[in-house]
Amino acid sequence: MSNTENPSGSPVISVMLSPQELDRRIKELGKEISDDYAQADLVLVSVLKGSFIFAADLCRSITVAHSIDFLAASSYGHETMSSGEVQLTQDLSNPIAGKDVLVVEDIADTGLTLSYLLQNLKARQPRSVKVAALLDKPSNRKKQVHVDYVGFTIPNKFVIGFGLDYAGKYRNLPYIGVLEKH
């Protein structure tokens, strides 16, 4: 990990995953997903706001025809720890019944949000539901969930960048970093 800081001297951010590492792994995931869904009616469901950058890159890396939809859920608010309460703040715009759904998540952390979303989506009678997460933090699980496509398994640290935020900021970083001082 390398450290970066802004001109004012704070915050200190340690780089965990570089832009090049992210790009390489997302392309690998795209190939794997393309192979697995070659004959499917695939719908990517991007979980906003955190997964939008990962979802865009993954979408471009998948070579089979697919559609994309969005929903928004939150269990963090402006904190660095999950509140434990999941809120669906935006729903899908199209039905998913009979389709192969791939939930695209920025991070599988406590499992609370994913568990809630999977239960909600399965009730809509898709043909299948699987999960692709850029980051997996299994040591922090409160509810067990299976992640079918994992970009990177990371330690139990609060990460930012590449769509992940702290109080709405840092989503624009082109890397995954650990906010060391805030």
HEC states along the chain? CEEEECCCCCCEEEEEECHHHHHHHHHHHHHHHHHHCCCCCEEEEEEECCCHHHHHHHHHHCCCCEEEEEEEEECCCCCCCCCCCCEEEECCCCCCCCCEEEEEEEEECCCHHHHHHHHHHHCCCCCEEEEEEEEECHHHCCCCCCCCEEEEECCCCCEEECCECECCECCCCCCEEEEEEC
At residue 87, the pLDDT reads: 80
pLDDT at residue 67 above 70? yes
Phi, psi (degrees; rounded to nearest 5) at 104: -105, 110
pLDDT at residue 56 above 80? yes
- Which residues have a catalytic role annotated? 109
pLDDT band (50, 70, 90) for residue 51? very high
Percent of the chain with pLDDT over 90: 79
CA distances from 13 to 6, 18, 173, 179 (A): 9, 12, 10, 5
Q: What is the mean pLDDT of residues 88-95?
A: 94
At residue 128, the pLDDT reads: 98
At residue 9, the pLDDT reads: 60
Q: What are the chain's domains? A: 19-154 (3.40.50.2020)
pLDDT at residue 4 above 70? no
